[in-house]
Chain A
């Protein structure tokens, strides 16, 4: 029988939650790296026992951990994240130039094809690549050195490269998203980049047609339709069907279209999930009700999913990397909150239950289905 492993990164360590394929009873293992921020913990599609963790903290900086046995044992690998070539400036919050300065790794994206190849998204925004299991990292400089780079500005959470999608159909195609520069696509393995933000409308910037400056919170893709991407922007839920050349809004009847994560059902490419959050100044759900919204029509028409989720006095947030789906026959959906709960639904979102309630604030959730 298959089993299920949920990888959770939190403000104070990493946790590994395991269950069988029924996903009814769970074992909680952790904390790993207790006291450290784990922005992301994820596994290789090639070998699910190869895990990578981004471990960081204000005192002692950035580390990368690797496990080759599904999280039982960990090895510290490389943490030399350098900006290659001329560092240059981006814009600071006050509009003045500021040199790029490395702070942390937000997201790790292992290759679909090679267990030792993994990409890392950094703050200040940069994309790194390791081809030796995380021992050595090199920057794919063309992204940071894009002609628009000097005009990139951080969002409230920092100028972070938080989303990396390695296209399942084209090995040379990579999508990334940066707060608050926008979304970018490479069709040559990262050697050059194209801003893909046409159609985004962002009230926070003066020029609505600006090539960059949009605060993209998260991108999601279904592997069967690689040219369709869904986006949770600062405000607005968007979709593209031409690999980012044009975006259109699909917020429809959502109670608010502000939020952070967005995910696609594992078997239904037009079924998507978001967690509406009241606003950018009120980082909690509307009316104190934690509701996942599901669209079975690729957006526009949304239904609230509430069964098993708190429907009063709930003021947690769900961060951009903290939602995931599994690939069981009946798709499971998972998300973690800033209140330390990890919820899951084993039936595509109809019914929810907490796996664990009192972890530190959850930064990331990933899920693996193991043979």
Chain B
């Protein structure tokens, strides 16, 4: 199970309070995790990735293990600690707006 931390707005939208856990079918990657997340919580469709291009929205960031994974390939393997469930995959809103 992959642990995912969502920002407050998306937790409210998904009606969850803490971390969420998703199971991915193949090797854990950003794409697999986000696909599983959107399947489990379809109200999140379009809020993290553009609905048509599939690209990360401009003001969304992905962190894990104190690394910024935002600009990694969506098909790159996630860090082993995330795959093992020791560390969460963090989705957050970028600092913006002053």
Contact = CB atoms under 8 A, between A and B. Distances in A.
A137 B94 CA distance: 29
A350 B45 CA distance: 47
Nearest to A62: B46
Contacts of A38: none
B97 A61 contact: no
B10 interface: yes
Interface string A77-90: 00110100000000
A36 interface: yes
Interface string B1-41: 00000011110110000000000000000000000000000
Contacts of A80: 45-46, 51
B47 interface: yes
A58 B46 contact: no
Contacts of A61: 46-47, 50, 57
B51 A59 contact: no
Contacts of A34: 12
A125 interface: no
Nearest to A55: B13
A35 interface: yes
A224 interface: no
B9 A57 contact: yes
B40 to A, nearest CB: 14
A60 B96 contact: no
Contact of A58 (B13, B45, B50, B59): B59
A318 interface: no
Interface residues of A, number: 14
Interface string A5-34: 000000000000000000000000000001
B43 interface: yes
A63 B52 contact: no
B48 interface: yes
A62 B52 CA distance: 13
A60 B48 contact: yes
B93 interface: yes
B65 interface: no
A297 interface: no
B52 A59 contact: no
A76 B57 CA distance: 19
Contacts of B47: 60-61, 63
Nearest to B57: A61
A79 B94 CA distance: 22
B43 A63 contact: yes
Given A59-B60, A61-B57, A82-B52, A36 B43 contact: no
Contacts, number: 44
Q: Which of A34, A36, A58, A60 has the most chain B CB atoms closer than 10 A to its own CB?
A: A60
A60 B6 CA distance: 12
B84 to A, nearest CB: 29
Interface in B51-96: 51-52, 57, 59-60, 93-94, 96
Interface string A129-161: 000000000000000000000000000000000
Nearest to A57: B9
A59 B13 contact: no
A77 to B, nearest CB: 9
A60 B97 contact: no
B9 A35 contact: yes
Q: Which of A35, A61, A79 has the most CB of B within 10 A?
A: A61
Contact of A60 (B10, B42, B51): B10
A60 B9 contact: yes
A79 B13 CA distance: 13
B60 A60 contact: yes
B43 A60 contact: no
B9 A58 contact: no
Which 4 pairs of residues, A with B, have the shortest CB-CB distance?
Answer: A76-B43, A60-B47, A59-B93, A59-B59
24 contacts: A34-B12, A35-B8, A35-B9, A36-B9, A58-B96, A59-B7, A59-B60, A59-B94, A60-B10, A60-B13, A60-B47, A60-B60, A61-B50, A61-B57, A62-B46, A63-B43, A63-B47, A76-B42, A76-B43, A79-B46, A79-B51, A80-B45, A80-B46, A80-B51
Given A62-B46, A79-B45, A80-B45, 11 more contacts: A58-B59, A59-B59, A59-B93, A60-B9, A60-B13, A60-B48, A60-B60, A63-B13, A76-B13, A79-B51, A82-B51
